[in-house]
A and B are shown apart, each in its own frame.
Chain A
């Protein structure tokens, strides 16, 4: 049935008001029923009373706001020396030095793997140096392997180019 079929212009104000009231009561009824169904489902599923907390348990988890204590109510010492145990060498290291130590100890940095390997080898063979260890030492001392030496070599090359360039200018 279309709205056009029934003319509403014939309705007086009292009827319109009654109609509006009916629609409103329908909507309120819907809201109430919706809540009832929701609550019933929550009850049957077992999560309706989950948000209930007794005051005693709430007191246990209150945030503490007192000087000298942290939010949990524990004594907080600002200058306490925090120490970490290295998982590799089992040494106790200050927290501020833990990351640099791990870099060297685990061999995760640039050249630290070589240092770590060398340490392991020297730890195992204090007196007898193996060939591989000697090779390692050679590598460390070798200019071809070092990062700084590469830089220097590059510098030298650029210097040579400059010298040749200036020599050509002078000749001209």
Chain B
């Protein structure tokens, strides 16, 4: 996989003094993210957060709203011709936008608590 910096840096940039340093920082950052994600999965926290989010979204009617939107998309595209890609491209942006702030806030608090708890490790 092409490193993130290699995509955005030109050939001349790569001879820059700061390029190796930037690359090192980026690597460290991606390492950090990977480690946190792994820890989330290992400890089962990701699954718990997922379940909490699902429950909250059902409770606030997000799921029903998106299902209604899906129905519109299916009617528009046709029952036989609709694909997963169509649904994903049409529904995902609306899904992100429709998540209530209260739910976001609650989940962010849980995530922050997890990160704070494991910051010392």
Binding site for B on A (CB under 8 A): 1-9, 11, 16-17, 19-25, 27-37, 39-40, 43, 48-49
Chain B residues lying within 8 Å of A32, measured Cβ to Cβ, are 66, 88, 91-92, 95-96
Distance A48 CA – B34 CA, assembled complex (angstroms): 38
Distance A48 CA – B68 CA, assembled complex (angstroms): 11
Interchain nearest-CB distance for A94 vs B (Å): 53
Interchain nearest-CB distance for A48 vs B (Å): 7
**Cβ–Cβ contact A11 & B119, under 8 A:** yes
**Cβ–Cβ contact B36 & A3, under 8 A:** yes
B6-14, B16-24, B107-115 - interface stretch: B107-115
Say yes or no: A24-B33 contact (C-beta < 8 A), given A35-B63, A39-B87: no
**Residue of chain A at shortest CB distance from B57:** A31
Interchain nearest-CB distance for B63 vs A (Å): 7
**Cβ–Cβ contact B115 & A16, under 8 A:** yes
Say yes or no: A43-B74 contact (C-beta < 8 A), given A3-B35, A3-B36, A36-B91: yes
Interface size class of B (residues with CB under 8 A): 35 or more
**Residue of chain B at shortest CB distance from A23:** B111
**Cβ–Cβ contact A35 & B67, under 8 A:** yes
Say yes or no: A16-B112 contact (C-beta < 8 A), given A36-B92, A43-B79: yes
Interchain nearest-CB distance for A43 vs B (Å): 6
Interchain nearest-CB distance for B17 vs A (Å): 23
Distance A62 CA – B77 CA, assembled complex (angstroms): 34
Say yes or no: A37-B84 contact (C-beta < 8 A), given A31-B50, A32-B66: yes
Distance A72 CA – B3 CA, assembled complex (angstroms): 70
**Cβ–Cβ contact B32 & A20, under 8 A:** no
**Residue of chain B at shortest CB distance from A30:** B50
Chain A residues lying within 8 Å of B112, measured Cβ to Cβ, are 16-17, 20
Seed contacts A35-B66, A36-B87, A39-B70; 7 additional CB < 8 Å A-B pairs: A3-B39, A8-B32, A16-B119, A27-B53, A32-B95, A36-B70, A36-B91
Interchain nearest-CB distance for B75 vs A (Å): 10
Selected contact of A9 from candidates B28, B91, B92, B120, CB within 8 Å: B120
Counting CB contacts under 8 A, is B1 at the interface?
Answer: no
Selected contact of A2 from candidates B35, B82, B87, B99, CB within 8 Å: B35
Selected contact of B95 from candidates A2, A11, A28, CB within 8 Å: A28
Counting chain A CB atoms within 10 Å of each CB, the highest count among B33, B99, B111 belongs to B111
Say yes or no: A25-B70 contact (C-beta < 8 A), given A3-B35, A8-B119, A36-B91: no
**Cβ–Cβ contact A6 & B53, under 8 A:** no
**Residue of chain A at shortest CB distance from B84:** A40
Interchain residue pairs with CB less than 8 A apart (5): A1-B35, A3-B38, A4-B121, A27-B53, A36-B70
**Residue of chain A at shortest CB distance from B40:** A23
